[in-house]
Amino acid sequence: MTVQQPLDAIVVGAGFGGIGSAIQLKKLGYHNLAILDREDDLGGVWHVNRYPGLAVDIPSPTYSFWFEPNPNWSRMYAPGAEIKQYAKDVADKYDVRRYMRFNTNVESARWDEDDKVWQVTVADGETLTARFLVTATGFLSQPCTPDIPGIADFAGKIVHTTHWDDSYDFEGTRVGVLGTGATAVQLIPELAKAAADLTVFQRTPIHVVPKQDFAIPAGLQRLFARVPLTQRIFRWFTDMQSALVFLPAVRYRELRLLANSTAYISSLQRFITIRDKELRRKLSPQYDFGCKRPTYSNDYYRTFTKPHVHLRDSGIERIDPDGVITSDGVKTPLDALVLATGFDIWESNFPAIEIIGRGGLNLGKWWRSEGFRAYQGMTVPNFPNYLGVAAGPFANSGLSFFNMIEYQTRHMDRLFGELHRRNATTFEVTEAANNAFSDRMEALQQNTLLHLGNCAGSRSYYFGPNGETVLRPTTTRTVLAEQASFSLSDYAFE
Ligand code: NAP
């Protein structure tokens, strides 16, 4: 692809964060863009994840751009393929696909102080330059492969959920699943349908609450398409439902009872479904609901009551070529091992590429030595003209990923509006503003479930190495207000 350099902006990541950012940049008048992605298609996590049972676990009307409602969701919780199709449709409608370059692994980005541009190096050694750098790499993009002795020597099929192999047939096989996070909760019931024998290796049990899923009737879809206001009203209810899950975690002092009530629903579901007390005990989390990402399923617990499904929670000692040995000395012979072991979030994701700012400052190293701090979850001093979208310290506003992206594009509206008004070349958040914001978030965080609740033993990726979290400890309404009205003096413009 021949592009005129410097580009207006380089966006790293062609998932919803990258698509939303590019749409916003176009709206702001920037049309010389490149969206770089290491995968061979757009969609981010919805392209990479293709495991059986994949579906959204936030109501679909809420899990979409506000400016682009989709009247065609087939279910309240749409399957993964439909969400990927939605990503394609939005990219095409807003004509941002033409900026996308796939199979392009971005290695690093370096601020060039002389020319006031970002130099972005991709894996084949090519360097692109751009005025603005936007990373939209998500925070679930670096798969975690556990370092268990012998894992490399396993002779059967081994697959991480982010690298699903559609050609492998699980029918009639002996399968092991490692992990019991949100992915495993969706996958295990599906694998149990095919496998002759399924063993789940659990380290930490997870709270699972019923999923109020149903097919959205064709008549209702037609109504949403013809009278968009009806879908807005429907979305208001699904937004409220999602907010109700998140709000008690943020307002834990006042809403402790509500926060804990969800845990009772989860334990009631276990009580009704599982008669075996020992199995029920093993599946019962010993930490508060909300310390970990909530999960929803109507068949996860029931799957463990099937005679060919087994739960092992005694820890894995090693993996042999033909099976898994747990610390009680028992060997489980396996044909296939599925790693539902999630992602390296704090180690290799913040940031997902090397970013070198003013004076050679390395963002990843700086965050690791000084703490993960980013103004409004997006901008960092010494990194001019850089925006981290959809993944940053205190970025996640809880309601849905789309709300976060759209609140962040409001930030871009205000920031770039001022940049244009001043006819400036660069913006850079001040140290004082970044520190004041981060101090405030850290103080507010002390009032949330993550700090006041019983989260010890949850092994939650919500927590960073020094106690910081990705979760914004304010209501979504407050985030919205702040992103649209932050003080412009928090930035220096040149
Ligand atoms: P996860 O929540 O991080 O779960 C990983 C699982 O693997 C945990 O049970 C973990 O145990 C286990 N594990 C990791 N390393 C291990 C080791 N060395 N030995 C034994 N067990 C090990 O990852 P995930 O399930 O992929 O979910 C990640 C996130 O993806 C979710 O929180 C959610 O945000 C997102 N997601 C979204 C949807 C959706 O519908 N929107 C669906 C699926 C996932 P410990 O708990 O003990 O660490």
Q: Look at phi and psi of residue 220 and say left if phi exceeds 0, alpha if psi is from -120 to 50, else beta.
A: alpha
Q: For residues 63 and 395, which has the higher predicted lDDT (pLDDT)?
A: 63
pLDDT digits (tens, 9 = 90+) for 273-292: 999 999 999 999 999 988 98
Which of 211, 287, 216 has its CA nearest to residue 453? 287
Which residue has tokens 């005694």? Answer: 314
- What pLDDT, on a 0 to 100 scale, did the predictor assign at position 85? 98
Q: Is the pLDDT assigned to residue 467 strictly greater than 80? A: no
Mean pLDDT, the chain, integer: 93
Please report which confidence band the pLDDT of residue 348 belongs to, taking 50, 70 and 90 as the band edges: confident
Which residue type does 182 have?
A
Q: Decide whether any atom of ligand 1 lies within 6 Å of the 461 Cβ.
A: yes
Please report which confidence band the pLDDT of residue 415 belongs to, taking 50, 70 and 90 as the band edges: very high
CB 128 within 8 A of CB 7: yes
- What pLDDT, on a 0 to 100 scale, did the predictor assign at position 1? 57
Rounded (to 5) percent helix, strand, coil in the chain? 35, 20, 45
Q: Is the pLDDT assigned to residue 476 strictly greater than 90? A: no
Q: What is the DSSP string of 468-483?
A: -BSB-SS-HHHHHHHH
* Domains and their CATH numbers in the chain: 7-142+345-493 (3.50.50.60), 151-212+240-339 (3.50.50.60)
Q: Decide whether any atom of ligand 1 lies within 6 Å of the 56 Cβ.
A: yes
- What pLDDT, on a 0 to 100 scale, did the predictor assign at position 362? 97
Q: Decide whether any atom of ligand 1 lies within 6 Å of the 459 Cβ.
A: yes
C-alpha separations of 241 from 72, 119, 142, 245, 248 in Å: 21, 43, 30, 7, 12
In the numeric block, which tokens belong to residue 443? 């103080």
User: Between β-strands 316-320 and 106-112, what pairing exists: parallel, antiparallel or unpaired?
Assistant: unpaired
Q: Is the pLDDT assigned to residue 361 strictly greater than 80? A: yes
Which of 450, 455, 458, 463 has its CA nearest to residue 203? 458
Residue range 423-429: mean pLDDT, rounded: 98
**Cα 182 to ligand 1 centre (Å):** 6
Instruction: Point out the ligand 1 atom lying closest to the alpha carbon of residue 147.
Output: 18
Q: At what angle do helices 80-93 and 16-27 cross, to 10 degrees?
A: 20
Residue range 44-50: mean pLDDT, rounded: 96
Which of 142, 30, 44 has its CA nearest to residue 88? 44
SS3 string of 15-43? CHHHHHHHHHHHHCCCCCEEEECCCCCCC
Q: Is the pLDDT assigned to residue 2 strictly greater than 80? A: no
SS3 402: helix
Instruction: Point out the ligand 1 atom lying closest to the alpha carbon of residue 148.
Output: 18
pLDDT digits (tens, 9 = 90+) for 443-460: 998 889 988 999 999 999
pLDDT digits (tens, 9 = 90+) for 79-115: 999 999 999 999 999 999 999 999 999 999 999 999 9
Predicted TM-score (pTM) of this structure: 0.95
Which residue type does 38 have?
R
**Cα 94 to ligand 1 centre (Å):** 33
